[in-house]
Amino acid sequence: MKKVLLVINCIILAVGTCGGPLVMRLYFIKGGKRIWLSSWLQTAAWPINFIPLVISYFYRRNNNNNTTSKLILMTPRIFMATIGIGILQGFTNYFYAYGIGKLPVSTSGLLFATQLAFTAFFAFLIVKLKFTPYSVNSVFLLTIGAVVLALRSGGDQPEGEPKKEYILGFVMTLASAALTGLIFPLVELIYKKTQQTITYTFVLEFQTLYCFVATVLATIGMIINKDFQAISREAKTFELGEDKYYIVIIWSAIILQFYFLGSIGVIYSASSLVCGILVSVLLPLTEVLAVFLYGEKFNAEKGVSLALSLWGFASYFYGDYNKTENSNQSPAIEMIDKINCTP
């Protein structure tokens, strides 16, 4: 079942990772200017999670299982830890939205790919991640892919964008990558330290709460910045039209929720490093989509980066496959040895 959930969550994560930046960038390209609004949209669709949560609750209730039929599975201790994760995610969303607003998708994508290095570093410190030659090779290849792309980032400054804003976009995107690299291992640590059974329902509760907290933080920012009053005015000047303005922001919220739901699910089904690797390997694919949708150039550096990313992705999962095969064979080999040693 965990492998099935892993595949499903990988698909959900792929939709959110590839589609989210493209829809967010469309908002800014066509006249949107509200950073806090864009930050708010990243987690505003959290109520969608109530659908599977309600289904899960009635299923558990019908089974008459006293331990799992509680309305909320999360303990007070986990509840408070989740609030902390939500606050971190709220700042991450703002930094990421700022980068998307000031940089082309290709540039913000290559910078955000560095989250894999941050994830590996923090996973080593926080959850005592054990590196294998395959995972080290994967991290190295994906990091080199980001560096290759960085070599051409100087010519990506959008026309009319002040140099100061462009540089600040770089810094903000790197900050969002660092915080994302910190959040993934922290979530994994919470899963490991909790003194209760970790079910997928628990994961959904966790993701719903921290997205709610991040949304509250963004809402405060919107109120201070008077973004709610500006939405109707911005819609009237949107290049695609007023109706399509609302379609863009609604779909932004839905697609970006896939990213959070998928990432939390992948951490539950595998690990924080697997989640980081998936996000990194999908970012060059996002850049390929940006070439077709927004006319961005696909040069040799992007081709090399894509090849390195796919190689790194294959390296990690080949190592994971070997590890699984060896662990499955060990009990059988041990039993054969015992039989052979029996007089």
Q: What is residue 25's predicted lDDT score, i.e. its pLDDT?
A: 87
pLDDT tens-digit profile, the chain (343 residues): 677 888 888 888 888 888 888 898 889 888 888 999 999 999 998 998 888 888 877 777 777 655 556 767 788 888 899 999 999 999 999 999 999 888 887 777 777 877 777 887 888 888 887 777 877 887 788 778 767 766 665 556 666 677 788 788 888 988 998 998 899 889 888 878 877 777 778 888 888 999 999 999 999 999 999 999 999 999 999 999 999 999 999 999 999 888 888 887 887 777 767 777 787 778 777 877 877 887 766 667 767 877 887 787 777 767 766 766 666 554 433 333 333 443 4
Q: What is residue 223's predicted lDDT score, i.e. its pLDDT?
A: 95
Tokens of 319: 């190592």
Nearest residue to 290 via CA among 24, 12, 11, 13 = 24
Sign of CA dihedral 249, 175, 146, 215: negative
Which residue stretches of 64-199 are H helix?
76-102, 105-112, 115-126, 133-150, 163-193
Counts of helices then strands in the chain (DSSP H, E): 13, 0
Nearest residue to 187 via CA among 198, 171, 176 = 198
Spatial distance between the Cα atoms of 238 and 104, rounded to a whole number of angstroms: 19
Element (H, E) at 238: none
Sign of CA dihedral 299, 302, 164, 216: positive
Nearest residue to 141 via CA among 299, 325, 280 = 280
Nearest residue to 214 via CA among 251, 257, 248 = 257
